[in-house]
Amino acid sequence: MSDYGYTVEVPEGYDEAVVRARLAMKGEGFSIISEMHVGGMLGPDAGDQRQYLIMGVWNSPVSHRHIDSQLQAAVHLPCNVVVQEVEAGAIVAALDPIDTVEATDETSRATAEIARGALERMLQTVAVGAG
């Protein structure tokens, strides 16, 4: 875990990291609701060819637990998962959902805890890969 969330490395490269992330997210019940490729938009310091993908994901099984009682919880459930190319391969990262909820909102916090567990398992799967 980093200061901003969770990060795992995939030494096999960017394309492999994207495939692993997609499969692992599906395995944890996440759906990709948006994608944005921004590699060429990161500026000259990042390099024109660097791959950088932001996936907005939603975990429907998590969301249905508390949405009925507190619609506020839904704003915390879409998660950004980032896959970025680095010299040594690729990095897959996700924000810790707990960081986005108020400590006093127990319903949202409980939902974020469930989402956190799903993201942790998803990233562990990405790190291990198929082998």
Range of the domain at 10: 5-128
Instruction: Report the predicted TM-score, pTM, of the whole model to 2 decimal places.
Output: 0.80
pLDDT in the model for residue 63? 54
Better-scored residue on pLDDT, 91 or 33: 91
Q: What is the mean pLDDT of residues 51-75?
A: 64
CA atoms of 127 and 22, how far apart (whole Å): 13
Side chain identity at 100, as an amino acid letter? T
Residue pLDDT, tens place only, 96-122: 887 777 666 677 778 778 888 888 999
CATH number, position 33: 3.30.310.70
Domains in the chain, number = 1
Put the strands of the sheet holding 89-95 in their side by side order.
Answer: 5-10, 89-95, 79-86, 52-59, 30-37
Contacts of 46 (CB under 8 A, 6+ apart): 39, 52
Better-scored residue on pLDDT, 88 or 20: 20
Using DSSP's 3-state secondary structure scheme, residue 46 falls into coil
The size of the chain, in residues, is 131
